[in-house]
Structure 1
Amino acid sequence: MNRDWLPIKTTPWTLGLSLLLLFLLAETTELPQRIDYWLLDSALLASPAFVSPDIAIVAIDDHSLAQEGRWPWPRQTHADLIRKLHQAGASTIVFDILFIEPSPDDGDLSSAMQDHGKVILPIHLAPSSSRLLLSEQLPPGDLISAAASLGHAHVELDHDGIARGLYLFNGMGRQLWPSLALAASGVGPRKPATQGLPAFVNVRDDYRIVPLAGGAGTLPTYSYSDVLGSPPAPDTFGGKTVFVGATAAGLGDILPTPFSGLSQPMSGVEFHANTLSAINQQLLIRTTPKWVGIALAMITLVTLALLLPRIRPARTLLACLMTSGAIVGMYLVMVSVFQIRLSVAHALIIPLLAFPISSGLRLAMANQFLNRQLDELVRSPRVALPEPSKRPATQLLEHFQALFQPQGWLLVEAQNILSIRNLNLADIPGNLEPGLWHHSGNQSWIRFYRGSDSYTLGFTLPNDLSREAIQRYLRRLKLSDTAHAAKNPKPSENISARIERVKVATERLNHIQEFIRRSFERMPDGIIVTDELGIIRFANGHIEEWFGEPMPSLGGLPLTRLLEGHDPRETPPWHETVSETLTLLQSRTVELKIREKDFLIHFAPFALPDSVQYGIIANISDISELREQQRQHREAIDFISHDVRSPLVSQLALIEQLKRDPTHVDQSQLEQLGRLARRSYHLAEEFVQLARAEQLTETRFYECEFLAIVENARDSVSEQAVEKRISLQLQGTEDLWLRGNAELLERAVINLLTNAVQYSPTGSAVSLQVFRAGHEACLTITDEGAGIDPDELPYLFDRYRRQKSSELAGIHGTGLGLSFVKTVVEKHRGEIYVVSSPGEGSSFTLKLPIADPLS
């Protein structure tokens, strides 16, 4: 079923609506609230508040109960404590002890409170009985009159049961009482913002989060009985606000805090003391309205919905993490710097949901794409490169016959002969392993499978130098059918199966593209492909090599700029040739010269796929060798017309002269005729030898010993050296084996020796040194002749090139001898160079690679 019509796309609308739906579902749970509590507790625990130095606690602890007796104590005891703290210089005394019922000692307590002048008493909001409404539980009237202020002692527990803050004002509909800590700082009661409320309505206002200084026991605390039984301690309580309350187990409030939870709860008096410490340092944290967190969440939602569809999938996670980090960072700055708690849990949920939703939408879109691509691959024409292991056996035989032209063949299926010529069943080797070629002499055999059928194929190859190369090629050729091999189990998941199908199809297309790319790379010509504006979009390796331009810089470069930069011309200009190819759709062929090399460039227009425009395929052929052959052809014609023709004309003229008077034949005339004939022979011989050297290939190489070659060459020119009384001195005893052509190497050494003898003065010496240098066999021939002019050294090995000094000295050469030497040396992958100075002789050094460098 085709599902391409489904509108599954990662767009701002689809992503935004999906996020909004899941966000609304998350809001129905406690997840946002738990995240907010966790963030707040983490921030408070990471950076506890400092303890204000002007606060102390007098605790009614277990030790005090043991000393003073069972609770409640007489109020005279509290009066004694007030007097003791007054004597110690306490500035403010805050009781977190409820004095609700009248007592006979109220007068003494009231008197002590009035003497001090700044004692804060608590009130409690609770119904007096279970059947009555909520009311204010106040101290007796005389205590109220003696107290400097009253404050409520209520601490709020959040939904998770943890005490994190309190309302600064709490009371009934007529009046709001400040908290104990706020009352201690001098703030009194106030009217509620809404007037006319019933008297039984509890009104709370101005909630603040209290950043605690630590867990229970962090603030300086002193035992009630110790303070009461000790002398006044101005150093301890002077100028401080002293909170008095119960910390004994089962007596006071038990408040779990972020620092301890239920494991070590904090007493109410410690919480109020922490509150005053935070008030003194202006650290109380206010909370923003809930709508601010919702608005931040909506801004985050819109931002991610617009951003994520426009970025790469790999960056989606990074974007969500950065968004979450920015929200958390903003939260920490607001809490620690501005003392404002912003509810960011709603906004944090958005990036947490955005990544999986965006990934899911992209996965759905990828699924659609895979389906669409699979349909297109099925409908598109298939271009395949069938492997040899998949081709039928009879077809393989036909291909091998066309490729190698074997002298005989045999193709057998089981025991049935399918095709035979000059071979029979008895020729099949008995130890054939399936899939492996077996070579015996000029016969090659293989056994392979097509499905469950077994085939045997054999050839009789030509028994020449190509046989070994063909057999090496066959060893690399795999003909075994692997279809019967164990297949990987197909994935059962739908998306995985589709991905696997696309992967197989993509690999097939990649193989075709790689085949085409390598074909272009291995072409003997350079290829450039441009778009409709003449901009280079593809170039093979020859272009990079010939033009000296790196491949990355070729892409996007105008073809005209490339050509003008390497071969500027005015007639016709390159831009005209390229533009006419695109506009007139006519092919052009132009000569091109790059770095002293000759090329022929052919421009051909071609229709671009899925377009009405045309691009250009430029085929660049290196014709430098052809131009060189043409030059050599012209030089050869000049050579034949002059050097070869001249002695022949002289011979004919001399013969005609002898024919006119045959009775008077002078000996000198016969000698001259012989010299002319020998010169013609030497010219023809050198011309033929040079042609043989130029056609030399490694197929005519064999093992030969270099020292023996040099000795044979020396013996060949010894007679010529004796005539001029020139000694040939050979130095070298090591056998140096080469892989080459001994005949042409000997002729090259003879040419060098002949020149050395010819240009050396009578009675001099010519030195021949044969030695090994690294992996090379070397020969140095040194003479004592007139030397070579420095201006002629660069052209010494050019064909038909003669030294001017030699011509003036009457030594006539053809200019082919040294050219022949250089050609032979280069065919053997060696090198030759000369060192010479006028009047000091010449030294030719020839280097050739030895056959076995490890020997």
Structure 2
Amino acid sequence: MARKRLIWQLFPLFILVSLGSLATAGLYATQTLKQSYLSRSIADLEARARLLEAVLSDSIQRDEFVKLQERCTELGRVSSTRITVIAPSGEVVADSEADPKTLENHGSRPEVRTALAGGVGTSDRASSTTHAPTIYVAIPVKDEEGIRGVIRVAVPKFTYLGVLVSNAFPLGVGTLLVLSLVALLSLAASRRITDPIDSLRKGAERFARGELVARLRAADSAEVTQLAEAMNTMAAQLEERIRAAEGQRNELEAVFASMVEGVLAVDTHERVININAAACAMFDISRDKALGRDLREVIRNADLHEFVAVTLRSSGSREADITLLHPGEQQVRLHGSPLKDAVRRNIGCVIVLHDVTAINRLESARRDFVANVSHELKTPITSIKGFVETLLDGALDDHDSARRFLATIGKQASRLDALIEDLLKLSRVEQEGERGAIELHDGQIQDILESAVQNCGVRALAKDVRILLNAEPNLFVRRNPELLQTAIENLLDNAVKYSEEGTEVDVSAVRDNGTVTISVRDQGCGIERQHLPRIFERFYRVDKARSRKLGGTGLGLAIVKHIVRVHGGQTSVDSAPQKGSVFSIHLPEIHLEQQTRNVV
């Protein structure tokens, strides 16, 4: 079935528009007639003023004010016109409706100013005397000497408007009837056109909400039907593209969320567009609270703000390193690149944040380790070399000196041997621990503690230091007895070295919420707080001179830490200057139905 074209539906509206145009023309004609009628009224008032000029000019020129007042009153009553005679000074000398002496100076009235200037003055305003809307016409009265006064005539404005209203009422009623009919026809025609369009609008709103399965129905007109079919085709294509885009977005979101590196995207106004979980963890913030907010409100780091600002101004990639102090100190490497839209316009920038804290720490540890090993090896080698050269230069002939030098060489060789042995032991523990080659067996720790105390007893006795052992019974852990004993002996050896003569070293083992804690407490000089975080590092010494004097290699606590890690445990230290130190080993407890002896 052939459908009507939209033009044939719009054609009746053109007729209605024509009627509207006629109505507009009628209103315009009414206004024109009104203005014309007012203009004729002003001309009529001017004619009356000219007649009054012929009657009153002699009295005005002779200043016969009383006679002027009488004539103005009489003529005003007969003509229903207010007549006012005004002197060149603006003073009212006669008025048909008021006592001239009570009237103020009229020199400032617009129509009077025009008349005094030699013209015909007109004004449509409210009267200052009666406060009623009034039309004024003023003309000058002249003689050979110039302007002798002004005659002003006035009538209330409603006199003319009443005439217009009485004539316009029938026309207005007819106009309202015609406009009502036109409005009804316009409403019917508009609904006929807008209903299909409204249906299309509702369908488009459903598409906008994502309801792309529904389809639009065809309308009566060919144009609307073609539009509906085009929108249906668009919805089908849009549904397919959205499905593909959602798949890609989900893939990107999965990659974005699982990245170890932090990713932060901001727009040109430095508002957060997107941020992944890694970046939120770095800055200890919530992703939901960060999105859409200004970067300075979300992350308080001046170095990052400056880097983002510079990246937004630049056209290429940039790199920088910053330090984050909250929630913990982190070294972060920033890589920033401009963020562009489909037409290559700059819409912001993306910042990738690499946490290089561990890398920098490992690099620093590597450098320190190489430097420390070099120094620790060089010191005894230099000493050995010096004494050997001295012996070769003739000291062998001096039996006492040669014996003393050889003893020193032996001592330095022993120091080298101990250092190399500790290095090999530390390396072996690290490598075997990484490979899982160290065998751990379930067992109690009482005999290990007793062996460690016994082995260190000789050194303690030589320094008059007493070692006390106090361990709870039935403490079982997964352990390598040899390694765990080495760790405990290292702690005991340090405790004895740094204890004063006549003091005690307490060794305890207790059960604490599924953990077995082995503690070694001394009464030595203690350690300042700033040294505690690094005390288990390789070659780290609080007092280097004293440590070397006591024969330490600087690797004992590092060996303890790695042995405990192999056992799945942790190490800790609590110390303060002049209060001694407590070094603890925390191991996971296991529960075995086995009884061990209680040795105190």
- TM-score band, normalised by shorter chain: 0.5 to 0.7
Conservation of the 8 A alpha-carbon contact between 2:377 and 2:416? yes
> Aligned runs of 1:416-495 on 2, under 5 Å?
none
Show the counterpart of 1:720.
459
Q: What does residue range 603-642 of structure 1 map to in structure 2 within 5 Å?
A: 603-609=336-342, 612-613=345-346, 615-642=348-375
Aligned-pair identity in percent equals 23
Question: SS at the partner of 1:529?
Answer: strand
Answer yes or no: is 1:678 the counterpart of 2:418. Answer: no
CA shift for structure 1 position 730: 3.0
Match of 2:539 in 1: 800
State the AA in 1 paired with 2:323.
K
In the alignment, the residues of structure 2 paired with residue 738 and residue 712 of structure 1 have an alpha-carbon distance, to the nearest angstrom, of: 17
The partner residue of 2:334 within 570, 595, 601 is 601
Counterparts of 1:615 and 1:760, CA distance in 2: 63
Distance 1:808 1:739, change over 3 A: closer
SS of the equivalent of 1:524 reads coil
Post-superposition Cα deviations, 1:530-550, rounded to whole Å, max 9, x if no partner, equal 446554322111111111222
Q: Does the residue aligned with 2:379 lie in a helix, a strand or coil?
A: helix
Equivalent runs, 1:560-579 vs 2, <5 Å: 565-568=300-303, 573-574=306-307, 576-579=309-312
**Counterpart residue number, 1:705:** 443
One-letter amino acid matched to 2:441: E
Would the aligned equivalents of 2:332 and 2:355 in 1 still touch at CA under 8 Å?
yes
The structural deviation recorded for 1:579 is: 2.2
For these two proteins, the number of residue pairs brought into alignment is 383
Change (3 A) 1:579 1:529: closer
- 1:686: Cα distance to partner? 3.4
Q: Provide the rounded CA distance (Å) in 1 between the counterparts of 2:534 and 2:457.
A: 29
1:517 aligns with 2:236: no
| C-alpha distance in structure 2 between counterparts of 1:820 and 1:557, whole Å | 49
Q: What is the aligned counterpart of 2:237 among 372, 375, 379?
A: 375
CA distance in structure 2 between the aligned counterparts of 1:364 and 1:777, rounded to whole angstroms: 64
Cα distance in structure 2, aligned partners of 1:511 and 1:739: 49
Q: How does 1:168-247 map to 2 (within 5 A)?
A: none
Alpha-carbon deviations, 1:487-533, whole Å to 9, x = none?
xxxxxxxxxxxxxxxxxx84x76555334322222222111234465
Distance of 2:260 and 2:343 partners within structure 1: 30
Output the amino acid matched with 2:542: Q
| 1:529 match | 265
Distance in 1 separating the partners of 2:358 and 2:309? 29
Q: 1:548 to 1:671 in 2, by over 3 A?
A: same
Aligned match for 1:779, one of 502, 515, 518 = 518
Report deviation, 1:655. Answer: 1.6
Alignment map for 1:827-842 (pairs within 5 Å): 828=567, 830-836=569-575, 841-842=580-581
Name structure 1 gaps, 5 residues minimum. Answer: 1-290, 314-355, 381-504
Alignment of 1:134-173 (within 5 A): none
Match of 1:272 in 2: none
1:805, distance to aligned residue in structure 2 (A)? 9.6
Distance 1:796 1:691 in 2: 19
Residues 442 and 477 of structure 2 are in contact (CA less than 8 Å); yes or no, is this contact kept in structure 1? yes
Deviation at 1:752, TM superposition (A): 0.4
Amino acid at match of 1:590: A
User: Hey, what does 2:228 align to over in structure 1?
Assistant: none
How far apart, in 2, do the equivalents of 1:809 and 1:644 lie? 13
- Residue 653 of structure 1: how far off its partner (Å): 0.8
Q: Is the 8 A contact 1:560 1:578 kept in 2?
A: no
Deviation of 1:623 after TM superposition, in Å, equals: 0.9
Q: Residues 692 and 672 of structure 1: is their aligned pair in 2 closer, same or farther, counting only changes over 3 Å?
A: same
Alpha-carbon deviations, 1:417-444, whole Å to 9, x = none? xxxxxxxxxxxxxxxxxxxxxxxxxxxx
Q: Distance in 2 between matches of 1:700 and 1:851?
A: 21
The change in CA–CA distance for 1:764 and 1:562 in structure 2 (over 3 A counts) is closer
Contact 1:802 1:814 in 2 (8 A): no
How far residue 776 of structure 1 moved from its aligned partner, in angstroms, is 0.3
* Deviation for aligned residue 1:630: 2.5
Relative to structure 1, the CA distance from residue 535 to residue 810 in structure 2 (aligned partners, 3 Å threshold; closer, same or farther) is same
Q: Which residue is equivalent to 1:845?
A: 584
The 3-state SS of whatever aligns with 1:367 is coil
Is the 8 Å Cα contact of residues 509 and 519 (structure 2) preserved in structure 1? Answer: yes
| CA distance in 1 between partners of 2:206 and 2:293 (Å) | 39
Q: Distance in 2 between matches of 1:852 and 1:510?
A: 52
2-structure distance, mates of 1:562, 1:788: 40
What amino acid is aligned across from residue 589 of structure 1 in structure 2?
A: E
The amino acid of 1:653's aligned partner reads: G
Tell me by how many angstroms 1:774 deviates.
1.9
Q: Distance in 2 between matches of 1:512 and 1:373?
A: 20
Quick one: distance in 2 between partners of 1:732 and 1:535? 60
The partner residue of 1:758 within 494, 497, 520 is 497
| CA distance 1:533–1:831, shift in 2 (3 Å) | same
How far apart in 1 are the matches of 2:579 and 2:258? Answer: 50
TM-score (norm 2): 0.53
Match of 1:817 among 556, 571, 574: 556
The question of 1:553 aligning with 2:289 is answered yes
Paired residue type of 2:390: Q
Question: Could you give the per-residue CA deviations for residues 439-497 of structure 1, whole angstroms, max 9, x where no partner exists?
Answer: xxxxxxxxxxxxxxxxxxxxxxxxxxxxxxxxxxxxxxxxxxxxxxxxxxxxxxxxxxx
TM-score by length of 1: 0.38
Q: Classify the secondary structure of the residue corresponding to 1:801.
A: coil
Cα distance in 1, alignment partners of residues 206 and 250 from structure 2: 33
The offset of 1:848, in angstroms, is 1.8
Partner letter of residue 254 of structure 2? R
Distance 1:659 1:818, change over 3 A: same
SS at match of 1:850: strand
Q: Partner residue of 1:668? A: 404
Backbone CA RMSD of aligned residues: 4.7
Sort the Cα spacing of 1:853 and 1:698 in 2 relative to 1 into closer, same or farther, 3 A.
farther
Aligned residue number for residue 338 of structure 1: none
Q: Is the 8 A contact 1:835 1:843 kept in 2?
A: yes
Once the two structures are TM-superposed, the CA of residue 775 in structure 1 deviates from its matched residue by: 0.5
User: Partner amino acid for 1:623?
Assistant: V
Residues 766 and 784 in structure 1, CA contact (< 8 A), matched pair in contact too: yes
**Aligned residue type for 1:542:** A
Amino acid at match of 1:540: N
1:729 aligns with 2:468: yes
- Return 5+ residue gaps in structure 2 as ranges: 1-179, 217-230, 595-600
Mapped to 2, the partners of 1:360 and 1:555 lie a distance apart of 27
Q: Residue type of the partner of 1:679?
A: R
Q: In the alignment, what sits opposite 2:387?
A: 654
> Which letter does structure 2 place at the counterpart of 1:677?
A
Partner deviation per Cα, 1:157-182 (whole Å, 9 max, x = no partner): xxxxxxxxxxxxxxxxxxxxxxxxxx
- Contact between 1:806 and 1:812, CA under 8 Å: does it hold in 2? no
Deviations 1:88-132 (A, max 9, x none): xxxxxxxxxxxxxxxxxxxxxxxxxxxxxxxxxxxxxxxxxxxxx
1:30-81: CA deviation from partner (whole Å, max 9, x where unpaired): xxxxxxxxxxxxxxxxxxxxxxxxxxxxxxxxxxxxxxxxxxxxxxxxxxxx
User: How many Å separate the matches in 1 of 2:528 and 2:442?
Assistant: 36
Q: CA separation in 1, counterparts of 2:503 and 2:420?
A: 30
Q: Which residue of 1 aligns with 2:318?
A: 588
- Write the mapping of 1:80-159 to structure 2, written as runs, cut at 5 A: none
User: CA 1:738 to 1:547, structure 2 compared with 1: closer, same or farther past 3 Å?
Assistant: same
Shift of 1:740: 5.8
Letter of the 2:515 counterpart: E
Cα contact 2:476–2:592 (8 A) shared by 1: no
